């Protein structure tokens, strides 16, 4: 890897940007925080001071014009992502976008195409891929170590932590808990199984007064033949955060491992016996930031990529259709 350090700009100064992304950039050996943009200049200045950014701005265009900024992290409301990704691409900046990439499939595809034409890299913050041991689990599945994966389960919850602010507005957020949390479950299943979803059906519920989902149960069928169950919610105070792959010849169990900032265990059960290890997710954001910077420096697509972002939006669009029409929805191959 080159010794080069990527100059980062962050647009959006919300909770995740401040508690996870900026610290991850400053902690990574291949990145440095150059600028932050917020609609509120005072908030940008406070953020910049807290995280050592050289510039605090209230104008995204000014950040994009700065040659010291190599890559942009987009941490704004979901409805703004597509236009901001495309603006960054036109400015020649690489882009790591918070999920979802866009609120429509057409916009997600437009993001990928504009980044391709501009010759910049596009990644999505599906940091769950970088939780301890999941790369080994994906390889075990790929190598047939637990046989055919018959059933997979993912449960994810931040406890009783109801959506707030713009996340309660369907026009800005799209879906609720499904976009807040669920997309991570769907992406990590795609990653672990090495397969795409072919069918989906779902049911959701909402807390009184909310116009977006706060609890969701989703069933998915993958091209590999695996049937998967995903439970995500922001309503229950004591939900579990587990990942389980049930194979015809073994099992992978990630206990307390599906959400960030967790200390859990990973257990592989195979014909050779059972092996357990401590596993956590406290470095996941740093790892995804560092992996994206490495991909840019080395001139290759990151993981997760813009195409992974498109797949995610295709899936959540199908889930929304399944909920609305109360039926199983097939996805394009």
For the chain, list the domains and their CATH numbers: 6-126+286-304 (3.40.50.720), 128-282+315-330 (3.30.360.10)
What is the per-residue pLDDT for 239?
A: 87
pLDDT digits 0-9 by tens, 83-118: 999 999 999 999 999 999 999 999 999 999 999 999
Token readout for 332 is: 């394009």
Cα R_g (the chain), whole angstroms: 19
Residue length of the chain: 333
**281: Cβ–Cβ under 8 A, 6 or more apart, which residues?**
127, 128, 131, 132, 257, 259, 260, 261, 262, 264
What is the per-residue pLDDT for 3?
A: 52
Q: Determine the average pLDDT of the residues in 299-309.
A: 98
What is the per-residue pLDDT for 226?
A: 98
pLDDT digits 0-9 by tens, 263-272: 999 999 999 9
Q: Provide the total of helices (H) and of strands (E) in the chain, helices listed first.
A: 12, 15
Q: Is the pLDDT confidence value at 152 over 90?
A: yes
**Which pLDDT band, with edges at 50, 70 and 90, does 2 fall under?**
very low
What is the per-residue pLDDT for 1?
A: 34
In the chain, what percentage of residues exceed pLDDT 90?
98
pLDDT digits 0-9 by tens, 120-147: 999 999 999 999 999 999 999 999 999 9
| Contact assessment for residue 234 and residue 160, using Cβ atoms and an 8 Å cutoff | yes
Token readout for 251 is: 């099992």
pLDDT digits 0-9 by tens, 228-287: 999 999 999 998 999 999 999 999 999 999 999 999 999 999 999 999 999 999 999 999
3-state SS assignment for residue 1: coil
């Amino acid at each position: 890897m080159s010794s080069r350090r990527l100059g980062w700009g962050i647009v959006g100064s919300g909770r995740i940007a401040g508690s996870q992304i900026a610290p991850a950039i400053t902690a990574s050996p291949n990145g440095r925080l150059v600028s932050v943009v917020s609609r509120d200049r005072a908030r940008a200045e406070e953020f910049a001071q807290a995280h050592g950014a050289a510039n605090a701005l209230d104008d995204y265009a000014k950040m994009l014009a700065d040659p010291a900024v190599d890559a942009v992290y987009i941490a704004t409301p979901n409805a703004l992502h597509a236009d901001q990704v495309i603006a960054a691409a036109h400015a020649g900046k690489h882009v790591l976008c918070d999920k979802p990439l866009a609120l429509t499939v057409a916009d997600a595809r437009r993001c990928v195409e504009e980044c391709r034409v501009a010759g910049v890299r596009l990644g999505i913050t599906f940091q769950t891929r970088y939780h301890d041991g999941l790369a080994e689990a994906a390889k075990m599945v790929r190598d047939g170590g637990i046989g055919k994966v018959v059933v997979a389960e993912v449960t994810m919850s931040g406890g009783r932590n109801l959506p707030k602010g713009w996340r309660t507005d369907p026009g800005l957020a799209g879906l609720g808990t499904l976009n807040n949390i669920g997309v991570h479950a769907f992406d990590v299943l795609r990653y672990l199984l090495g397969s795409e979803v072919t069918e989906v059906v779902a049911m959701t519920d909402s807390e009184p007064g909310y116009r977006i989902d706060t609890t969701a149960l989703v069933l998915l069928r993958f091209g590999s033949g695996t049937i998967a169950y995903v439970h995500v919610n922001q309503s229950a105070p004591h939900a579990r955060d587990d990942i389980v792959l049930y194979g015809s010849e073994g099992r992978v169990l990630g206990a307390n491992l599906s959400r960030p900032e967790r200390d859990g265990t990973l257990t592989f059960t195979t014909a050779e016996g059972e092996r357990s290890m401590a596993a956590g997710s406290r470095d996941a954001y740093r790892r995804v930031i560092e992996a994206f910077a490495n991909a840019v420096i080395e001139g290759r697509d990151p993981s997760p990529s813009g195409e992974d972002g498109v797949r995610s939006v295709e899936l959540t669009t199908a889930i929304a259709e399944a909920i609305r029409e109360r039926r199983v929805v097939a996805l394009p191959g």
